[in-house]
Structure 1
Amino acid sequence: MKNKTEIVNIFTRKTLGLTLVLSAAAMAFAQEKAGVSGIIVNKKNQPVPYASVTFSNKANTALSDAVLTDEKGQYQLQLTPGAYDITVEAIDYKKSVVNKNITGAGNIGALSIEAEATSTLDGKTKELQGVVITASAAKPYKVELDKRTYDPSQDIVSKGGNLQDVLSNVPSVSVDTDGTVSMRGSTNVKFLINGKPSSLLGIDDGANALQSIPADQIERIEVITNPSSKFEASGTSGILNIILKKNKKIGFNGSVVGTLGYFPRTALNANLSWRKNNWTWFVNGGGGYTENKTKNNSETTYHDIKFPTLDPIPTTPAEIAKVPNVPVHQYQNSVNKTYNKNYNVSAGFVYDISDKTSVNLTGLVRTFEGDGNELVNTYDSFYKYTGATSEPWKLLNPYTLRDSKSVFNNLAFQGDLGLDHKFDDNGQNLSLSLSLQRNRSNNNADILESVDNIPSVQDITRRHSVSKTVIGKADYELPVGENSKIEAGYRLDINDNTYDNFVSSTSNNPLIPNYNNNTDYKEMFNAFYLQFRSKIGNFGYQLGLRDEISNVKINYISQNPDKEPLNKTKNYNNLFPSVFLSYDISKNNQILVNYSRRIDRPRSFFMVPFPNYTNNQNIFEGNIDLNPSYVDSYEVGYNITKKKFTINPTLYYRHATDDTKMLVYRPDERQKVFYTKPENLGNDDRYGLDLNFTYDPFAWFKIMGSVDLFGYKTSGIATYKTIDVDGLTQVRSLDFTGSGFSTRLRLNTTFKLDKTLSVQLQGFYRGGQKTASQDRKDMYAINFGASKTIWKGDGTLSFNIQDIFNTRGMEVTNYSNDYTRSSYMQWQPRQFSIALTYRFKQGEKVEQPKKKKDINSNETGDDQQGGPI
């Protein structure tokens, strides 16, 4: 409780500053852009408010950008120096196009536009009949050399929400009903915060961690489907790099967002910054309360009913009681309600020692806590031996209620120290960083089970886990001539995860003692990378090689005196090459070809033999012998950008070996208990077309969509031992072989009804998948959002409805030799929320020093938060 009190005090203090430690973004070196400002006026030199100003870079359209003028006709944005076509459009004014060469930061003066014939003589717009429209400022989705960037600022549907809501709208990304995130149909996604693993996402926190990061604190999301050798090799389906906000404007700036919603949801978050002279301070923080309601239904039918051979025939009550039941059918439904409170604060500063050197220090604290109540209703049908001559086997239908009351909490700390040095103005840079992280999680439950309303079993579970992480990095960049660059770096990861599990039960389950255990999981990774990139005419290439040396030690101690301790040591030394090729067909057309090799390291939680006991009929069992899976990934992409649309189709192929699959089986066919265990089984191949596009047919109507059409082929046969109804040990097998074709579709449409009001409809569809052992049905949902600008642009009022038709549910049928199970899960039913944002007066943007252009790159500027990892 002491830690909890400390966290609450952070948010009750006036400045939110008890955790103000220093920041981790080296903003001085990663900026290629310059601050450009100006004003739009009419022929009478009067300002034109809310005009659309588009800067089209003549050499590279990816460097283009757009902005809306404010109520005084003024605008400001960041641009890479170069030649631009400047297009100005406004209601009741003629379109104007001028050419200008941007050489550096500064004010480019006034640009004049001429009124249409329908305008009044004083230059003010007449009142329109019908809808008033203006253009949007920028595209939410950008394609760069080795990643795609999604800007959630224009995502009305997720306003006032959290990271999980934002990810539901990101192209190439899917979020299941239980919070599981996947990319192109694969769930092995590596999450990063500001370019590195973070305590914000915790250890085995699942959807709770995604919900603890407010959407308003997210600057952008980098989707890296095929990372280069510069990036960490983990994450076979790709990397999601979550970049949090850090304001770079002079003076005091910030915003506050309050949210109310149902299912009950409240939140208050603030983003504040202050910059003066060589100092930049920032603090982001807030808290909230949410309620969730999860539904699970399952129906299991057992095949080939077989009665055990009874020889000799039992006659006494004691002998009859030992005869196992024969299961026939089971229907189970559960409702789990959770009540969560979460708080988070990140704060720090950047100090510019000189114009070439800066130091940064950042600290963050995040906590969430709550309680839950899960009711599991089970209706069984099974044959019970009675010993009667006329009816020796009697069909019974008992009703079981399992009432679980749980309490959980999580507390995470992280501190980051960084030093960045710029050797010259040609792009020779050195970046050093150190990150210290700690995450503690508790999950306790008291469970009472009743059969036909008579209490029968009481279980008590206590789970405690602690994760400690140290990450050290060094990255160096050296330009070679005008068109080439060498990049090199080193990274050290040290992770120590401890799990303490305790279970007490009044049942006679012989496995219960195994769940009382202590596990220490330690891993250390040393990584070196070398990368060379260059450009010859329109052809660019990047070659990289990463070497990762891994050492994993697992010490499992069971409190069961009949079990020996398990100790496992694993060492890997793997090379991970990458090749990126690009060819500029024209200034608007580019072909990208790449290859990389990746690794899927087992989660530490998966390797604890008996990690979790909360449901006595559906038990997860770890596998201490689980090994990594390796993936070879290939992509051929094409990118075309025009004024009104962008299209980015990518053909991909991914081949995984020793793929990890979840084996669901019954170790004892006389019982209704199911086990789930991860196993390295066979190969997995994915191939398909990932198409992302934006289309702005009108200034008031914008479309963003993504289509993932993919085929899959999986192989693997698992064998396991089971005890049959006669008490004999049998070897069974489960076939994971399967192939087919599936789809992922997402469409986002935004309508700008007037200068201050926009509405948005967002829908997605996920096609089904089928293998020999599983049939997963398709799923779809539609969301709605509306946003209204108020208080002369200082405020925004947003409203959204998630899952309008309450259709977002996951339906799966599993097949085995002796049973068929159909299940349905809905993690959260339809919900809605309203959010109010207030923005403090914005200062002027900082003029960044010019930096040598990064060759072979479409990057539109970065603040190094998403740099080498």
Structure 2
Amino acid sequence: MTNKIEISSMIRRKTLGLTFVLGAASLAFAQQKVNVSGIIADRQNAAVPYASVTFSHKTNKMFSDAALTDEKGAYSLALVPGTYDITIEAIDYKKSVLTKEITAAGNLGVLTIEAESSATNGRTQDIQGVVITAAAVKPYRVELDKKVYDPSTDIISKGGNLQDVLTNVPSVSVETDGTVSMRGNSNVRFLINGKPSALLGIDSGANALQSIPADQIERIEVITNPSSKFEASGTAGILNIILKKTKGMGFNGSVTGSLGWLPSTNLNTNLSWKKGSWTWFLNGGGGYRESEGRNDNDTRYFDPTSGATTYFFEQNSLNKSQNKNYNANAGFTVDLSEKTAFNLSGMIRGFQSENQNTIDNTNFNAARVFQYFTQTDALGNSRNLSLQGDLGLDHKFNDAGHNLYLSLSLQKSDNKNNEDSREYADNVFVNGSTGDSKTVNKSVIGKVDYELPVGEASKIEAGYRIDHNNNDYSFLNTLTDDDLIYQTAADYSGNTVYSETINAVYAQFKSKIDKLGYQIGLRAENSDIGIDYLSLNGDKTSRTDKNYTGFFPSVFLSYDLGSTNDQLLLNYSRRINRPRSWFLIPYPTSLANRQNRFQGNPDLNPEYIDSFELGYAIQKKKFTINPTLYYRATQDETQFVVTSEAPGSNVLITRPYNVGSETQYGLDLNLTADLLPWWKVMASADLFGYKSEGEYFNAATMVAPQSFEGDGFSTRFRLTNSFKVDKTFSMQVQGFYRGGEKTASNVTKPMYVLNFGANKTIWKGNGTVAFNIQDIFGTRGREVTSFGNDFERESLMRWNPRSFNLSLTYRFKQGEKVDQPKRKKDINSNSSGDDEPQGPM
């Protein structure tokens, strides 16, 4: 893809002038010069690429010189010491002139220019003549405290959803059930435009990944070691999903429709309109998708004393579902004045699913001789409606970066689920169960962020944030015998109300001394949690209160090895993983699969993690290399342990426990390269070792505390090859390998996946046809061996079979000239990835 920039005759005249200045400057070679550098940015601190920066010496024009900024807004040149008039010019920006005294080598910091705000200025309208073609943005880049992935070059995910996009993001892997992990850790914090969002679910993001179309995603920010500015949740790191907003002045938009197999259909649109001080946007769509998952378990039970096998139990489950979803995200931004802007937006997401689960249970004796067979048929449906409203006010005290940001987010999510399961033996009804559940999640998030420049190269940042979450869970489960008399299952029914308030403050200081950049910060968070458990008939009540305060420092260091595109990075942060609310519910919430159930643990405490990273980043025109060594130490580590419901029982229950401590170390390597004009690659590798040790106590079995020790080494590899056949046709092949992994109670076998995609541009660049195949060889699955005190279980889970997708995208009014000049960045995009609208220095 190329971006075309038209340059007018006026610009050509300025280019000739610039050439003259450069020629005159060359006559001053005999004078001793000093190296000067800096960055050109707009009022929102976004870099301004390809701006001309002219230094005119006050007394001797022979010493004058000029430079153009690179794609990151940076420039450098050598000047004779003296007093200079600095003129900054860029297309669609007002000309800026300032005076500075240059006495020694150094960095002049950030110089700010202002975007054109009047339609009467004809600069953009006058652009005619020469056309310059520039390469599209790289899919992956490294910044001080995050990595940024641009999915626009990802052919395989076109017509898909967020889950498909994440499968190609460096340092990220997606399991077959949709669980997302970073560097082998699944405690990932999801954000939408910098904050938790009802679009992904207030309490969980992984279950809603398929409801966000890939076409609505502008970029994904991978933050493996967040700074103190971010909320401290998420020990693995943060994935900040930035949705598309405005692309230019006037009316712009695109529509994407897709068809796939297993049967799936999607229709999504992105619309924006920008005129004067107003910006409006609307993203929305919906779709239908069928899925088919398999889960096979083979369990051997034995005498814990002698080790002799007692019997075998085999379970095969097939789950088919039909899913419908829709979502809309709309809002506006208005500049109230030159320095103040207001934004308001709202989003809605709806989801419904019909499920059919067939579970075959086969029992064998110790000699593996068939004993009896039962089958469970379960029908269920789910409904979800999520709403979110956001408003914000941004104020710039001046153009030097002195800013104040205020924001408020209100979110609500309603979830309803019901299921009806029946068990048969030799086609004769044995028993059944029903389950009805309702979950209401409410959340309020308020933030205040403040930025104060100190000198030309330093900045102080501080802020306050409050999160209040209230989750109300209601479960009603019944059991019936062969007389079809339903009775309430008291041990599996009740109401749980989870209330949480988190107050947080942070402060951090960032600066740069010659080639050394640094950022130090401290965040303090107080968590006040109350959990009420109430049985259905009211005779069992209990309450759990938790209150703890944590301090979370962060340190980021960078050293330029020759330039800002060749850096050594060292950082440290402390994080917390608060248990998810449903991990604390002390009873099973579903009885459809009675032999394998999940049950929460109300005694679960948060994890704390200290994370260190040492990385190197070299970013050139044709390649990017980013190796990172990391080390993590976790206290009160949470592990999911499979145990028997009672001694001798064939019912297995999975519970979370705080088992002790864990250390993890590894190498995370990411690479992009333009090998040939028609061949590009993006590769990533994660090699990590781990060790866990501690103990847990299962109150249900009353067995003495069990020791928990596990260690091992695992790998993740991903390689994406992109081939440009001609100007309109491209192909992509992606391979992923996940190595085996071992803990104290589980051994996971290796897995590999191969995907393919192709797209063709049509209709003079306004349309794109894309086709992809996910899991070409049908190898995507998860094989796990679980160990317990009296059992050993082999499990194989496949979430979806091989799938195909064909999509068509139409773009209209892209790049058309309108009455007003294009703004470089939406002042209220709130999409920088920090815990507020602005990005790192």
TM-score, with normalisation over the residues of structure 2?
A: 0.83
Deviations 1:383-425 (A, max 9, x none): 8xxxxxxxxx998611110000001010000000110111111
Alignment pair present for 1:448 and 2:462 = no
1:503 is aligned to 477
Q: Deviations over 1:48-97 (max 9, x none)?
A: xxxxxxxxx977675589xxxxxxxxxx9999999xxxxxxxxxxxxxxx
Determine the structure 2 residue equivalent to 1:536: 513
Q: Residue 46 of structure 2 is aligned with which of 32, 42, 45?
A: 32
Q: Distance in 1 between matches of 2:377 and 2:215?
A: 37
Determine helix, strand or coil for the equivalent of 1:672: coil
Contact 2:616/2:626 (CA < 8 Å) preserved in 1? yes
Query: For residues 704-731 of structure 1, what are the alpha-carbon distances to aligned partners after superposition, in whole Å with 9 as ceiling and x for unaligned?
Result: 01111111111122232566xxxxxx61
Contact 2:50–2:69 under 8 Å retained in 1:
no
Task: Measure, in 1, the Cα distance between the counterparts of 2:503 and 2:428.
Answer: 57
Question: Does the 8 Å CA contact 1:141/1:148 hold for their aligned counterparts?
Answer: yes
Q: Is 1:565–2:541 an aligned residue pair?
A: yes
Q: Assess if the C-alpha contact under 8 Å between 2:42 and 2:48 holds in 1.
A: no
How far residue 760 of structure 1 moved from its aligned partner, in angstroms, is 0.2
The match for 2:607 is 629
Secondary structure in structure 2 of the residue aligned to 1:868: coil
SS in 2 for 1:646: strand
Cα 1:867/1:396, change in 2 over 3 Å: closer
Matched, 1:683 2:648: no
Matched, 1:357 2:340: yes
Aligned equivalent of 2:791: 819
- Distance change >3 Å, CA 558–CA 851, structure 1 → 2: closer
Query: Number of residue pairs matched?
Result: 735
Distance 2:821 2:708 in 1: 57
SS for the counterpart of 2:348 is strand
Structure 2: runs of 5+ lacking an equivalent: 1-40, 53-66, 76-89, 97-110, 116-122, 837-841
**1:690-839 to 2 correspondence within 5 Å?**
690-721=668-699, 731-732=703-704, 734-839=706-811
After alignment, is 455-464 or 27-36 more displaced?
A: 27-36
Residue number in structure 2 paired with 1:584 = 560
Are 1:514 and 2:514 counterparts?
A: no
Partner of 1:70: none
> In structure 1, what is the Cα distance between the partners aligned to 2:742 and 2:282?
48
Residue 263 of structure 1 aligns with an amino acid whose one-letter code is L
Cα displacement (A) at 1:678: 0.8
Residues 395 and 137 of structure 1, relative CA distance in 2, 3 Å threshold = closer
Q: What are the Cα deviations for residues 593-636 of structure 1, in whole angstroms up to 9, with x where unaligned?
A: 00000000000010111151231111111111111000000001
Paired amino acid for 1:768: G
The separation in 2 between residues aligned to 1:489 and 1:541, in whole angstroms, is 19
Contact kept? 1:638, 1:649, Cα under 8 Å = yes
Partner of 1:367: 350
Deviation at 1:849, TM superposition (A): 7.6
Distance change (3 Å), C-alpha of 1:159 and 1:778: same
Aligned position for 2:587 = 610
Match of 2:638 in 1: 660
Q: Once the 2 structures are TM-superposed, how far is the Cα of residue 850 of structure 1 from its aligned partner?
A: 10
Alignment of 1:169 with 2:168, yes or no, is: yes
Percentage identity across paired residues of the two chains: 54
Give SS of 2:736's match: strand
Which letter maps to 1:400? Answer: T
Instruction: For residue 720 of structure 1, give the secondary structure of its aligned residue in structure 2.
Output: coil
* Counterpart residue number, 2:56: none
Q: Distance in 1 between matches of 2:498 and 2:825?
A: 46
Structure 1 SS opposite 2:215: helix
**Equivalents in 2 of 1:78, 1:862: separation in Å?**
19
Render the CA deviation track for 1:780-814: whole Å, top value 9, x for unaligned: 10100001000000000000000000100000001
Go from structure 1 to structure 2 and tell me whether the alpha carbon gap of 1:455 and 1:695 turns closer, same or farther (over 3 Å shift).
same
- Secondary structure of the structure 1 residue equivalent to 2:793: strand
* TM-fit CA distance, 1:302: 1.1
| Shift in Å, 1:771 | 2.7
Q: TM-score, normalised by structure 1?
A: 0.80
Change (3 A) 1:334 1:850: closer
Deviations 1:510-564 (A, max 9, x none): 9931211011100000100001001111111101000101100000001266x63
Aligned pairs for 1:254-269 within 5 A: 254-269=253-268
* Residues 34, 81 of structure 1: 8 Å contact kept: no
Flag the 1:523–1:611 CA change in 2: closer, same or farther, 3 A: farther
Among 621, 633, 647, the alignment partner of 1:669 is 647
- Residues in 2 aligned to 1:176 and 1:77: alpha-carbon distance in whole angstroms: 46
- After TM superposition, the structure 1 stretch with the greater mean CA deviation from structure 2, 215-224 or 103-112, is 103-112
Question: Alignment partner of 2:697: what SS?
Answer: strand
Greater displacement, 174-183 / 135-144: 135-144
Higher relative contact order (CA 8 A, sep 6+): 1
Question: For residues 790 and 173 of structure 1, do their structure 2 counterparts lie closer, same or farther at Cα, with a shift above 3 Å needed?
Answer: same
Partner of 1:209: helix, strand, or coil? helix
Aligned mates of 1:102, 1:867 — CA distance in 2: 21
Query: 637-646 or 593-602: which moved more?
Result: 637-646
Amino acid at match of 2:277: N
Q: What letter matches 2:543 in structure 1?
A: N
Structure 1 stretch 812-821 or stretch 437-446: which is displaced more? 812-821
Which residue among 613, 620, 643 is the counterpart of 2:598?
Answer: 620
Deviation per CA, 1:245-298: give whole Å up to 9, x if none. Answer: 001411110000000000001000000011111111111001000000000001
TM-aligned CA deviation for residue 191 of structure 1:
0.3
The 8 Å contact of residues 669 and 722 in structure 1, kept in 2 or not, is answered as no
**What one-letter code is carried by the residue in structure 1 that aligns with 2:257?**
G
Aligned 1:253-402 pairs, distance under 5 A: 253-304=252-303, 328-382=311-365, 397-402=371-376
Query: What's the counterpart of residue 248 of structure 2?
Result: 249
Paired AA for residue 349 in structure 1: F
Aligned alpha-carbon RMSD (Å): 3.0
What CA distance in whole angstroms lies between the structure 2 residues aligned with 1:566 and 1:264? 46
Whole-Å Cα distance in 2 between the matches of residues 411 and 298 of structure 1? 34
Residue number in structure 2 paired with 1:155: 154
Which residue number corresponds to residue 191 of structure 1? 190
Change (3 A) 1:507 1:573: farther
Partner SS, residue 625 of structure 1: coil
- What is the letter of the counterpart of residue 598 of structure 1? R
SS in 2 for 1:195: coil
- Runs of 5+ unmatched residues, structure 1: 1-26, 39-56, 66-75, 83-100, 114-133, 308-325, 384-392, 724-729, 853-860
Tell me the CA shift for residue 209 of structure 1: 0.7
How far did residue 670 of structure 1 move?
3.1
Alignment-derived partner of residue 222 in structure 2: 223
CA distance in 1, matches of 2:677, 2:114: 30
Match of 1:489 in 2: 463
SS at match of 1:520: strand
Measured against aligned partners, the alpha-carbon deviations of 1:419-461 in whole angstroms (never above 9, x if no partner) come to 0111111111111000000001111100011112210011000
User: 1:703-761 deviations in whole A, cap 9, x for unaligned?
Assistant: 001111111111122232566xxxxxx61554431212111100111000000000000
Over 3 Å counting, the alpha-carbon distance change for 1:305 and 1:610 in structure 2 is closer
CA contact (8 A) 2:42 2:113 kept: no
Q: What is the CA–CA distance in structure 2 between the aligned matches of 1:218 and 1:748, rounded to whole Å?
A: 20
Alpha-carbon contact 1:34-1:848 (below 8 Å) kept: no
